[in-house]
């Protein structure tokens, strides 16, 4: 499958373990034009996520990529607790890395998103692997943003699958439902990569051992930070030592290296009420038994099936020595 090499890319993330692995995958994939990284509070604080991103990019040899911190709270002002129980102290599985040599970009993440979109000739692809607060703020500040960003790929939500922060809500959507509702309602084509597929694309301990022995700085780092992440998944979500492939799978889909087996275009919104379903993704799947007939006006492709082969590709890519 061809990588979308001609399309500039911006990654908006909350750099915990899986964001870091996705970021290293982007850096390791030939032809990817990664223009910027922006961070938001989620797995850790926006500032810590930005520092983590600088450190990961340094390991990947990409200190040229600007990184800007963004929203510290949700659109309505909530400050969520950090997910150190999932991603370890500091967000990278408790692994300590050298201080970054590059400085943070002084702009707010929303401004870097807008500026990068304007500088990319109306061809920017945004990959969002975090709560969508930065994108919502950018939309509020520049309502014409969808004219400059033809496509957005979002890791988030759960359609038929259970949630991971409540019975129905996934973290990236559920931690700022108002922001997610704004982004999903914007006039751009959007691909949504929910738990329905990310929980079925699994990294295993055999993969991690391959990463540790892989011989590249990024493979070793990935193997080290996945240790804590694997322990969390084994205790809470999976019947084996391993993990879901949340953000890296979204990155693979954004690049075109993963072709979904089923991704109908559906009308999608988010429950923003203060009740038991707050943060739930509401996707119109009533056409399930009819093969998902066209829904006029729907602009969100919801990935419901993939082939399960991405973890092997991911490990191979991280272990590959770049020329």
The contacts of residue 301 (CB under 8 Å, 6+ apart) are: 189, 190, 191, 192, 260, 263, 264, 265, 266
Residue 294, exposed/middle/buried by CB under 10 A (0-12, 13-18, 19+)? exposed
Q: Is 283 helix (H, G, I), strand (E, B) or coil?
A: strand
Contact status, residue 152 vs residue 113, Cβ threshold 8 Å? no
Of 255, 282, 288, 274, residue with least CA distance to 11: 255
Instruction: For residue 200, give both structure tokens.
Output: 């079925």
Distance (Å) of CA 105 to CA 45, 61, 69, 108: 16, 18, 8, 8
Q: Answer yes or no: 233 catalytic.
A: no
List the catalytic residue out of 87, 161, 246, 267: 246
Of 196, 186, 116, 203, residue with least CA distance to 155: 196
The contacts of residue 247 (CB under 8 Å, 6+ apart) are: 13, 18, 19, 21, 22, 129, 155
Count of C-beta atoms within a 10 Å radius of residue 120: 19
Contact status, residue 245 vs residue 19, Cβ threshold 8 Å? no
Q: How far is CA 36 from the centre of its chain?
A: 14
CA contacts within 13 A on the Cβ side of 268: 33
Enumerate the active-site residues.
246
């Amino acid at each position: 499958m061809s990588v979308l090499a001609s399309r500039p890319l911006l990654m908006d993330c909350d750099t915990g373990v899986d964001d870091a692995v996705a970021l290293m995958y982007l850096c390791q994939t030939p032809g990817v034009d990664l223009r910027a990284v922006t961070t938001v509070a989620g797995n850790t604080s926006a500032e810590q996520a930005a520092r983590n991103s600088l450190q990961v990019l340094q390991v990947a040899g990409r200190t040229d990529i600007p990184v800007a911190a963004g929203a510290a709270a949700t659109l309505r002002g909530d400050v969520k607790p950090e997910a150190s129980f999932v991603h370890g102290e500091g967000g990278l599985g408790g692994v300590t890395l050298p201080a970054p040599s590059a400085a943070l970009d002084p702009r707010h993440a929303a401004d870097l998103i807008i500026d990068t979109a304007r500088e990319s000739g109306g061809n920017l692809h945004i990959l969002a692997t975090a709560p969508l607060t930065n994108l919502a703020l950018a939309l509020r500040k520049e309502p014409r943003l969808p004219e400059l960003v033809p496509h957005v790929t979002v890791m988030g939500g759960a359609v038929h699958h259970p949630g991971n922060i409540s019975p129905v809500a996934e973290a990236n959507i559920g931690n700022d439902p108002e922001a997610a509702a704004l982004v999903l309602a914007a006039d751009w084509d959007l691909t949504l990569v929910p738990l329905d597929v990310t929980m079925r694309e699994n990294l295993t301990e055999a993969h991690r051992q391959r990463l540790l022995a892989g011989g590249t700085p990024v493979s070793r780092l990935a193997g080290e930070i996945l240790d804590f992440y694997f322990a969390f998944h084994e205790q809470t979500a999976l019947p084996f030592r391993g993990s879901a492939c949340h953000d890296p799978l979204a990155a693979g889909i954004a690049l075109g290296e993963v072709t979904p087996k089923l991704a109908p275009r559906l009308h999608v919104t988010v429950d923003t009420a203060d009740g038991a379903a707050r943060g739930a993704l509401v996707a119109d799947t009533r056409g399930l038994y009819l093969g998902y007939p066209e829904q006029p006006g729907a602009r969100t492709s919801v990935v419901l099936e993939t082939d399960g082969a991405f973890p092997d590709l991911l490990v191979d890519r991280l272990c590959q020595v770049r020329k």
